Amino acid sequence: MNAQPEILEVADLCTRISTYLQPEQVEQVRHAYHFSDAAHAGQHRKSGEPYIQHPLAVALILADMHMDHETLIAAILHDVIEDTAIDRDSVSSEFGSEVAAIVDGLSKLTQLEFESQAETQARNFQRMLMAMADDIRVILVKLADRLHNMRTLSALKPEKRRRIARETLEIYAPIAQRLGINSIRMELEDLGFAALYPLRYRTIRQEMLRVRGNRKEVVDKIKDRIKRHLRQERLVAHVLGREKHIFSIYEKMREKHLGFSGVHDVYAFRVIVDSVDTCYRALGILHSLYKPVPGRFKDYIAIPKANGYQSLHTVLFGPFGVPIEVQIRTGEMDQVAEAGIAAHWLYKTGDGAAKSANKRAREWLRGILEMQQQAGNSQEFLENVKIDLFPDEVYVFTPKGSIMALPRGATAVDFAYAIHTDLGNGCVACRINRQLAPLRTPLVTGQTVEIVTAPGARPNPSWLTFVVTGKARATIRHYLKNLQTDEARALGKRMLERELETAGLGRDVLDSEAFAAVLTNLKLESVDRLYTEIGLGNRPAPLVVRLLQPETPVEDDAATKARKRRRGASEGSPVPLAIRGTEGMVVSFPKCCYPLPGDSIVGFLTAGRGIVVHQQHCANVVEYRSAPEKWLDVQWAPVVDREFSVELSLDVINQRGTLATIAAAVADANANIEDVSISERNERNSNMRIVVTVRDRKHLADVIRIVRRVNSVVRVNRKRA
């Protein structure tokens, strides 16, 4: 696979492209070659060959796809900005702004320094996709570049080979599939598999060679019989038989835990006809020739894949008991199946499959742009794109009958965000086939999905545990990040104003030169940023106030204040911070003690999370004794506007319907059950743990009183702190 490459000549390229490009365009490509050859003079690849061989090989790959002359020129020049003294302006003046934009989009960020290899990779990838959004030819050149690099991988060190191979399998092969470029995708997968798992690759390849003689005979017999049967029905078709490529066989073995002998359908047949109508006629003829396998027919002509791929797929019970896969499509569909988005350059004026592939690719790119705008950093963006490159898809319908393609495992929340960001942010429930269903329900092909929204609804952090699309994940994270920032700012302002009041300083100090100096000292650009840092627990408010009072002794100041708070000393004792229940994500109530309004509570500052509120007698308070500077005086506000979770322990008699009766009792007390678990203690009695939501201690007392009236309940207690 990695034999010594042959020496390529520019004449090879010009001869190949002269079959479909104008003579003046061929000359421009030739000129680009000489320009690049001069720029790369003296440079060599790791294999020892002149560097110009690489861009020439990339251009030849694109010439096989019949790409336009500007793409070919960009391929020949794709490394000149990065690796030579040539800059973008020189390329633009010599070959035009479009070529310069493609070449610039392919150049790495070599002038920037990053903390890790992963961050460097992510930033380069992010830049490439942004350039791809402006001109999709950027990714076509990149894929051809990656393909030639994979073909010549043997010259590199083993660890670098493995890193590049893994990146190819995780990112570039899925992108080729997403854009429908099947020919490049399959070769990238096989080359990546061979470099990453050489022993596994050799084993499967040897097994394929061992059985190839027998299988070739079977393939030829089936192919001849299909052709003869179609001819008898006066249907003109081109029939191809082929083996599946090595990586797809490995994936099937891995997913289904099969040995090589268990993978029967290692070859498939393609029937190419002249029209869509003939596709369906050919399907009927093949189903009369061999029996179809139930549940294995897919109509990608009526419902194309997200990358524009169209074909009829069926699996038949072939001769010798071997299942065979058959794909039926038109000539243009076949071109799109192999070249994907690149087929657009062959059918620029048409309204067929190539135009559809181009449209769908651009829709995907629009989604990528939205993810980029909402991602916190380059690595998060790269992870979201990886998530979005699922090869398997489900097809569901909107209430108006439009088709949506989503990754396998997608939920109603993914569906909502795929339609519109506002619909996702505002969804509270869904109907699947007109029946109410949980938002986390995985969708199945053919379902009709309707999203129910409500005014004031907002994304739930728990959605991140089940959404699968990159767009949904990025949008939810972006929203929650902004929400947490807003909530932290409001809480931080309250905390700082309270500390200023305790220190005898008025709010007007925030406008003083001394406070401006504090912001400069803390390297914060504004008072709002300071509020946010305080609210998130990254910067304690007492320490900020202490910077405004340089005469205050700094020795043991934080510990002294903490001790005063704990014993309730009057001198310098601050007014406790009122917990209103509306602080959102920056004030949390842990499950260890489930604090309720009315309980004695204590707060602790935790970096990045804000305030964690415990009951005063909670066992987990002990761990904060060694960090008194994190203690915070808190108390419940007179009016607390939210419901809180609390855990109850019930001893019950084992009777049919006990859980339903208890649930009804909780509902009668205007409370709701969040979670239930039951552990059997003996044949007669069980212990039940339920988590209910209540407003305060009084509401909890009402719930306990009503639950105690249930005949099968022996004992009910609140979980101890």
Cα–Cα distance measured from residue 493 to residue 533, given in angstroms and rounded to the nearest whole number: 10
Pairing of strands 644-653, 685-694: antiparallel
Residue whose tokens read 């996702």: 424
Mapped onto helix, strand or coil, the DSSP state of residue 406 is: strand
Cα–Cα distance measured from residue 543 to residue 562, given in angstroms and rounded to the nearest whole number: 12
CA dihedral 215, 216, 217, 221 (to 10 degrees): 100
Mapped onto helix, strand or coil, the DSSP state of residue 147 is: helix
Cα–Cα distance measured from residue 478 to residue 157, given in angstroms and rounded to the nearest whole number: 40
- Max CA separation in the chain (angstroms): 104
Residue whose tokens read 């009709």: 448
In the residue annotation, 696 being an active-site residue is answered as no
Cα–Cα distance measured from residue 406 to residue 413, given in angstroms and rounded to the nearest whole number: 11
Beta strands per DSSP E along 592-671: 601-606, 610-615, 631-632, 634-636, 644-653
Token pair recorded at residue 303: 């419902």
Looking at residue 168, the DSSP 8-state letter turns out to be I
Cβ atoms of 718 and 709 within 8 Å: the answer is no
Cα–Cα distance measured from residue 459 to residue 475, given in angstroms and rounded to the nearest whole number: 9
Q: Which of 12, 37, 64, 83 is catalytic?
A: 83
Cβ atoms of 591 and 645 within 8 Å: the answer is yes
Cα–Cα distance measured from residue 300 to residue 312, given in angstroms and rounded to the nearest whole number: 6
Token pair recorded at residue 213: 């003689």
In the residue annotation, 83 being an active-site residue is answered as yes
**Axis-axis angle for helices 137-151, 158-167 (nearest 10):** 150
Cα–Cα distance measured from residue 521 to residue 527, given in angstroms and rounded to the nearest whole number: 13
Residue whose tokens read 């008699």: 653
Cβ atoms of 276 and 314 within 8 Å: the answer is no
Cα–Cα distance measured from residue 702 to residue 33, given in angstroms and rounded to the nearest whole number: 84
Cα–Cα distance measured from residue 651 to residue 708, given in angstroms and rounded to the nearest whole number: 10
Q: Which of 82, 207, 243, 338 is catalytic?
A: 82
Looking at residue 179, the DSSP 8-state letter turns out to be T
Rounded to a whole number of angstroms, the distance between the first and last alpha carbons of the chain is 66
Give the angle subtended at the CA of 224 by the CAs of 219 and 228, to the nearest 5°: 150
Q: Which residues contact 634 (CB under 8 A, 6 or more apart)?
A: 576, 577, 578, 579, 601, 602, 603, 611, 613
Q: Which residues contact 225 (CB under 8 A, 6 or more apart)?
A: 289
DSSP string, 236-281: --EEEEEEPPHHHHHHHHHHHT--GGG----EEEEEEESSHHHHHH
Tell me the H-state helices in 503-586. Answer: 513-521, 527-535, 541-547, 557-567
Cβ atoms of 103 and 77 within 8 Å: the answer is yes
Give me the active site residues, please.
82-83
